[in-house]
Amino acid sequence: MTGLALDLVGGQVLRPGTGLVRDRLSFADGRIVEPPVGRAVDLSGFRVLPGIIDAHGDGFERHVAPRRGAVRDLAEGLAAAEAELAANGITSAVLAQFWSWEGGLRGPDFADRLFHALAGLRDKVATDLIGQLRFETHMLDDYPSLPDRLAGWGVDYVVFNDHLPHDRLAQGRRPPRLTGQALKAGRSPEAHLERMRALHARAEEVPAALEALCAELSARGVRMGSHDDRSAEMRTVWRARGVRISEFPETRAAAQAARSGGDAIVLGAPNVLRGGSHNGNVGAAALIADGLCDALASDYHYPALRLAALRLVREQALTLEQAWALISEGPARVLGLDDRGRLEPGKRADLVVLDAETGRVGATIAGGRVSFLSGAVAERFLA
């Protein structure tokens, strides 16, 4: 591992167990070290916090496809997304890509292209970019090839979704937004509807197929999560399959079932900022207050992680250490990243420098490499 060797002095450092203390933080060869290394940067007026870890986000979509056909080179789009991640203090990011009947940006062909581009870019940027496949459970024909596809991409994280409008399909009614969705997929509305109907008709095959697929993925060491758990019963079923992460549970009962079963709970940071769910589900802040959250995720808005943590300190009586853990130490634990999430010797030099007054990002360092530098902090680093 390579990178700078610096002593950050004069600022407040968020130390595990003690909170903010005026201290020196030193790093060299990509790791936090105990003794000083010789070159000091004065960060008086700033805070040094663990780098933010995004447990789930699809904000990269606007970089890889801002308009249909506008970005041909997905690696360039991902590089632009990495720059935005760094500007928001994020040092590790899970990029959540669909494998879905919805087609277009969420279709299998696009997923294959994106993960190949990600594999080629990962070692060329400072931010640790982690692929996650969001797999639609009714894509039954793709089950046999999925484990080998994941291995070929170097992706070891799968989250299961089911976005088929089953109620409408069962009633023989046209789903909402059909025409727009079909156009995005490059299909006629009629063809798109027929695709949904065909998948819905095979719903009874899905549970047994999932049992076999989850067993195979578990044997290969793939991390698995379920998205939008609606009930305690649903979470119990997923846990029995070895799916131990509950992403964005829609009800308190589902979140409580996850906690009781020892499963990890990931909630959306934008939900915290809005003060509730945009579609009427249980509010993230209320679950956090009851200890029903292990990690916050950007979902679709990268600035939301930092802003949500700071809002929890202002409005929910959490200490900065407690709130920041939801975007650093907590997601590190959920993702099995034991080498990061806390500012202590031996850990990766993943950190973010915030203005103590405004809370804005002045610098982001990932693995000892500068990924973002701005304003007064940049002047001090370059002096």
* Structure-model confidence comparison of residues 209 and 280, the more confident one: 209
Give helix then strand counts, H and E, for the chain: 16, 18
DSSP E strands in the chain: the ranges are 6-9, 12-15, 19-22, 25-28, 31-33, 40-42, 46-50, 52-57, 90-99, 128-136, 157-161, 223-227, 245-247, 264-268, 295-297, 351-355, 361-366, 369-373
Give pLDDT, residue 108: 95
Span 88-125, pLDDT tens digits: 999 999 999 999 999 989 999 999 999 999 999 999 99
CA 297 to chain centre: 5
CA triple 94-125-11, angle to 5 deg: 85
Span 139-198, pLDDT tens digits: 999 999 999 999 999 999 999 999 999 999 999 999 999 999 898 888 999 999 999 999
Task: Specify the amino acid at residue 172.
Answer: G
Q: How many angstroms separate the CA atoms of 196 and 300, rounded? A: 25
Q: How many angstroms separate the CA atoms of 30 and 367, rounded? A: 5
* Other Cβ atoms within 10 Å of 71 Cβ, number: 17
Binned at pLDDT 50, 70 and 90, residue 69 comes out as: low
User: In this structure, are residues 121 and 75 in contact, taking their beta carbons and an 8 Å threshold?
Assistant: yes
pTM, two decimals, is 0.95
What CATH superfamily is the domain 1-51+341-383? Urease, subunit C, domain 1 (2.30.40.10)
Span 203-232, pLDDT tens digits: 999 999 999 999 999 999 999 999 999 999
| Alpha helix stretches (DSSP H) within 220-362 | 232-240, 252-260, 269-274, 284-289, 304-315, 320-325, 329-334
Average pLDDT, the chain: 95
Percent of the chain with pLDDT over 70: 97
Kindly state the average pLDDT of the residues 60-87.
Answer: 87
Q: Which among 223, 235, 227, 280 has a CA at the least distance from the CA of 259?
A: 235
Give pLDDT, residue 78: 97
Q: How many angstroms separate the CA atoms of 120 and 66, rounded? A: 21
What Cα–Cα distance (Å) separates residue 184 from each residue in 69, 181, 188? 11, 5, 10
* Other Cβ atoms within 10 Å of 326 Cβ, number: 27
* Other Cβ atoms within 10 Å of 343 Cβ, number: 23
Structure tokens at 70: 């506008």
Q: Which among 151, 137, 61, 133 has a CA at the least distance from the CA of 101?
A: 137
Kindly state the average pLDDT of the residues 326-336.
Answer: 98
